Chain A
């Protein structure tokens, strides 16, 4: 039953090819909606709840020590300088970037290959593979720390960024494979077949026909993988003990756990941690909202 649901895309909230020309409610005139204050008042309140915490962090990051001003000037770069150089956030940033990009590439390539197999072939064991993908979403990564630690110790990958890249990739894979197979199913197979008739090999047809149409799916899976591995904390905390191997969240945790917390440095570290994901989010947020549709692959 579960597998059948996946087939229909019912269990895949995010597997969606953005549809053009959706007959949405866009056509509804403003006269149909509630009065303006009923929108702007709750929205304004919620925006405050969302943005004040961000503002607070920015404020502490640029405010000189000892100041109690609620405005971010006169601003100082001293906290950033301290965190980046003295507290090794420069190195952490580089490590996090390496982990993020490696996870992105590995996840996308492996998921692309698995997703294509699920979307285009009927084969023995296909259902079993699907069920395994679904079930592994219920496996708590935090509870796998001890056995994973033992495996990586055997492979001599403790204190290597690869231990984190592999763990992140593995826990990203189930969702990514399901997502990408949904996207690939949304591309008519007839297009590929036409390319085969023209003499393309399956591989060439894939690169020439499928891959270009898959861009939204690749952006989604890639950015999820990047954001998750950039944000994730436990694997890096447990597998990387040498200081010059650590990642940004581990660095933040060190600042948080210090006996007397240096709030300015902590805030500056937070801003450094936020910048890449904010950029990725700004890049994908439009797509997120239009493309997350559960219904898109049902039809």
Chain B
């Protein structure tokens, strides 16, 4: 009734305010044009240039030579790409499995649930640099965890997990896991809560075990949330450099250099902007390709009711 009465003034208002939506999106659109779109275009432009502030005499159009160099003459590129892929796959797989388990756990009814949730989710708010700070204290060979473990007869004294090429990968993985799991747990828990309880009741009446309920009710329901959070997090893990930059600095001996870290080093320390821009372009294309592929393969959003 109220809507019927309102109809006329509303259409009038619509006509008068045809420009309003554009005014409203203008601040966001302009900021993104100036500080995302323009930098991206300039990256594309510089990727075709020789541009190095320390060697200005060589600056100029380079054609595809930066790209040829990436694919044929740069083992460090392949090494950093290889490490990035390993880093993202291992992190995402572990974060997803542990995060899902944690979400299922704190979705149960038990005494102390609210407090437990707050505590296990808390590393979500912690930054990469702070994570490094905390884990450096834990990993410190002379005053960290290993010293007390050695006191108790486990392991040996003076072993630095961060400078040993055999252990540095898993040491970094563990630190990143600590702050990464809550992201999955929070997202998946939120989606778990939207599963109607009646489904489980009906299933238990029919005699389905808890494991069968997990595979036939819970996981199918969570599918879209799992796909989406995995994708978002994978892109984020790929791009994020805070933790590795501060924890290992890409070392020892370039062992833990991800592609973005390599790009940052090339552009900012090496001042080779042209080459860094070409690397950025390649990284962006890889990200886009895998994102589309992943969404296609997982048939995201398909067969939803």
**Nearest CB on B from A273, distance (A):** 5
- A266 near B136 with CB under 8 A, answer yes
- B110 near A40 with CB under 8 A, answer yes
Please encode chain B, from 123 to 152, with 1 for each CB lying within 8 Å of some chain A CB and 0 for all others. Answer: 111111110111111101001010010000
Please encode chain A, from 143 to 185, with 1 for each CB lying within 8 Å of some chain B CB and 0 for all others. Answer: 1111110110000000000000011011101100100000000
Chain A residues lying within 8 Å of B110, measured Cβ to Cβ, are 30, 33, 36, 39-40
Chief secondary structure at chain B's binding surface: helix
With an 8 A cutoff between CB atoms, is B105 at the interface? yes
Could you say which of B25, B36, B187, B235 contacts A292, with CB atoms under 8 Å apart? Answer: B187
- A39 near B108 with CB under 8 A, answer yes
With an 8 A cutoff between CB atoms, is B13 at the interface? yes
Chain B residues lying within 8 Å of A282, measured Cβ to Cβ, are 118
Name A25's closest neighbour in chain B (CB-CB): B197
- What is the number of residues of chain B that contact chain A, defined by CB distance less than 8 Å? 111
A-B contacts, CB under 8 A, total: 326
Chief secondary structure at chain A's binding surface: helix
- B117 near A289 with CB under 8 A, answer yes
27 contacts between A and B (CB under 8 A): A5-B301, A13-B229, A25-B195, A34-B210, A47-B120, A53-B138, A54-B134, A56-B138, A57-B134, A114-B24, A129-B25, A132-B37, A138-B287, A140-B284, A142-B264, A147-B39, A151-B34, A193-B6, A197-B6, A231-B129, A249-B127, A256-B132, A270-B133, A274-B126, A285-B117, A289-B189, A293-B190
5 A-B pairs closest in CB distance: A231-B127, A147-B39, A292-B190, A117-B24, A140-B239
A→B interface (CB under 8 Å) = 1, 5, 10-11, 13-14, 16, 22-30, 32-34, 36, 39-40, 42-43, 46-47, 49-54, 56-57, 60, 68, 70, 109-111, 113-114, 116-118, 120-121, 123, 125-126, 129, 132-133, 136-148, 150-151, 166-167, 169-171, 173-174, 177, 190, 193-194, 196-197, 202, 227, 230-234, 238, 249, 252-253, 255-257, 261, 263, 266-267, 269-270, 273-274, 277-278, 280-282, 285-286, 288-296
